[in-house]
Amino acid sequence: MTRRQDYRLTDAGVKAIAKQSTPTKVTRHGDGNNLYLIQHPNGSLFWQVTYRYQSDKDLKPKQKTYQIGIYKSAKQIIGSTFKPEVSLKEARLARDKAQALLSDGIDPTKHKNHEKNNFEQKDLFRVIAKSYIDEKSTTTSKNIQKLHNYLNRHIAPHIGDYPIASITAQDVIKTGLEIQNYFEKQGKWTADTTSKCVELIGSVFEYAINTLGYDIINVAHGRNKALRPHQAKRMKAVEQHQLSELLRNIDKYVADHPNAHEQTVAGMQLMTFCFVRTKELRFFEWSEIDYHKNVWRIPAHKMKMRQDHIIPLSSQAMAIIERMRPLTEKTGYVFYNFRKNKPYSEAWFNQALKRMGYTGDPYPEMTGHGFRQLASTGLYEMQFSEDVIEIQLAHLKQSSVKKRYDLSAHLAERQMMMNQWANHLDDLRAGKAMSFELLTPDEVKKEMDSRNEQATDIALHDKDILIKSLQAQGVSPELIHQLTIQLA
């Protein structure tokens, strides 16, 4: 009866604690008999048992803590469907087992670690994870290498030698936070790689359960919530008012740098007009050009979103491409590093931009990917629709129905947009003054009237192209009529 009186907490009471505002410092809620619910300022709650133990190396017993497990993660919401990772009942049972070990002279923490190391080689997390990565067939070799790096550099040092069945939610959270701390100590305030590492742990658990038949639960599910939020940084790029100077610096790159190659100039010039990802430009093949439509068709396997992508080519872009034909046509690639006998590396643009001084002194920092930032900002300023800009940047994942529409109607608007963007760049290169100052009320009205008129013209053209495309595909007149009413 005495022990029963030690049970101070109840399920309802613990849930009430979980709903409270987070404390300013770590708070302990005792259940009695050395079991505590720990309330952390980050919002998480977990179970601990305190005990005293004297090993052979200790002169006297030491105060120690045995970690049982988590009740709720930092950002988990207590709702009607909430289920704790470790309930009050389960925490008490774990406490009783730990105290039974102490009665036999065994340190429960060391026993737990010993259990983690009592395994067969095939049960190790690193072994299962390597098998999972090696069996992935729907991703690129580069991505496979990236996953191996996540495993070997960041995950395995923490849980790689644990048998997968012994890994707890707390192990996963601790691993994620350790990885995050590692990057932050290097001055890289980002949880992006950390989040991907935790996602990989979860995928390995799913693989072990669904493919290898392990009778375990995915303790990594939802553990990203315990990480500090990712703070995305703006990609390194010059500002819009500095674009004209960048264009002129690119044009005279060979003249200013005697060892520079004409291909580098052409590549950066084409990037300003097409603003594709640098990898897509580096592996641009002559066979991907559709001369009938003046478009560049990139196959899905080369794209980040794994979807075919179309880049309308302005006359300025086509002129740059044709300059490369006598030099690289026989290689199959529009741009080719003859010195290394393969396409250019990822550092191609970045090295050239550094030689031009885009390192923070004398010019702002700039990278190859920054051309996409410049184009995105500029096109929004030119009042093109969000969908058209994001599709051209290959950001949107499209359903089959949406893709059908985009390849017909939006393509016409994208062609107009890409040609206007090319003309805009020519104006900047020629030194045409571009105002970045605030407009007067009359100037604002005139500009908005002009843009609204342009948007109306494009919308009408867009609608006409869509209807003609659907007619050509055999869509019934009744369905086209209904669509016309909706678009009116």
Count Cα atoms within 13 angstroms, Cβ side, for 261.
Answer: 14
pLDDT band of residue 42 (cuts 50, 70, 90) is confident
Q: Residues with Cβ < 8 Å from 289, sequence gap 6 or more?
A: 295, 296, 297, 313, 321
Q: Measure the CA–CA gap between 98 and 66, rounded to whole angstroms.
A: 8
pLDDT at 204: 95
Name beta bridge partners: 295: 290, 312
Give the mean model confidence (pLDDT) for residues 303-330: 89
Give the mean model confidence (pLDDT) for residues 65-89: 85
pLDDT at 98: 92
Burial 146-162 (b: 16+ CB within 10 A, else e): bbeebbeebbbebbbeb
Higher pLDDT, residue 162 or 394: 162
The neighbour count for residue 377, using CB atoms within 10 Å, is 15
pTM of the predicted structure, to 2 decimals: 0.51
What are the backbone angles phi and psi of residue 191, rounded to the nearest 5°?
-105, 10
C-alpha 457 chain-centroid distance: 37
Q: Measure the CA–CA gap between 181 and 192, rounded to whole angstroms.
A: 13
Higher pLDDT, residue 36 or 433: 36
Class of domain 121-226: mainly alpha
Average pLDDT, the chain: 83
Give the mean model confidence (pLDDT) for residues 441-464: 62
Give the mean model confidence (pLDDT) for residues 343-365: 87
Q: Which two tokens stand for residue 412?
A: 């016409």
Say yes or no to pLDDT of 402 above 50.
no
Say if residues 417 and 379 touch (Cβ distance below 8 Å): yes
Say if residues 235 and 373 touch (Cβ distance below 8 Å): yes
Of 49-53, 97-101, 421-425, 476-480, the poorest mean pLDDT is in 476-480
Instruction: Return the closest-CA partner of residue 409 out of 366, 342, 467.
Output: 467
Reading phi first (left if > 0) and then psi (alpha if -120 to 50, else beta), residue 115 is in: alpha
DSSP string, 168-223: -HHHHHHHHHHHHHHHHHTT----HHHHHHHHHHHHHHHHHHHTS------TTTTG
Q: Which two tokens stand for residue 288?
A: 């991907």
- Break the chain into its structural domains and give their ranges: 2-115, 121-226, 240-436, 437-488
Higher pLDDT, residue 394 or 378: 378
Higher pLDDT, residue 260 or 75: 260
- Asked: is 2-115 a CATH 3.40.50.410 domain? The reply is no
Say yes or no to pLDDT of 405 above 70.
no
pLDDT at 400: 40
Q: Measure the CA–CA gap between 238 and 366, rounded to whole angstroms.
A: 6
Of 73-77, 127-131, 336-340, 352-356, the poorest mean pLDDT is in 73-77
Q: How far apart are the first and last CA of the chain?
A: 78
Say yes or no to pLDDT of 369 above 90.
no
Q: In angstroms, how far apart are the furthest CA atoms of the chain?
A: 94
Class of domain 240-436: mainly alpha
> Residue 68 in 3-state DSSP?
strand
pLDDT band of residue 59 (cuts 50, 70, 90) is confident
Say yes or no to pLDDT of 203 above 90.
yes
Provide the angle, in degrees to the nearest 10, between the axes of the packed helices 477-487 and 441-472.
Answer: 170
Q: Measure the CA–CA gap between 60 and 190, rounded to whole angstroms.
A: 44
What are the backbone angles phi and psi of residue 92, rounded to the nearest 5°?
-65, -40
Residue 487's alpha-carbon distances to 80, 456, 463, 480, in angstroms, are 43, 13, 8, 10
H-type helices in 261-399, by residue range?
262-274, 278-282, 315-328, 347-355, 370-381, 386-392
Give the mean model confidence (pLDDT) for residues 181-194: 70
pLDDT, tens digit (0-9, with 9 covering 90-100), for 111-134: 877 766 666 778 899 999 999 998
Give the mean model confidence (pLDDT) for residues 334-343: 92
pLDDT at 401: 38
Instruction: Return the closest-CA partner of residue 374 out of 352, 362, 361, 358.
Output: 358
Higher pLDDT, residue 266 or 138: 266
Higher pLDDT, residue 275 or 405: 275
The neighbour count for residue 313, using CB atoms within 10 Å, is 25
pLDDT band of residue 408 (cuts 50, 70, 90) is very low
Residues above pLDDT 70, as percent of the chain = 82
Q: Measure the CA–CA gap between 29 and 36, rounded to whole angstroms.
A: 5
Burial 167-195 (b: 16+ CB within 10 A, else e): bbbbbbbbbbbebbeebeeeeeeebebbb
Q: Measure the CA–CA gap between 322 and 313, rounded to whole angstroms.
A: 12
> Residue 221 in 3-state DSSP?
coil
Instruction: Return the closest-CA partner of residue 285 out of 333, 244, 355, 328.
Output: 333
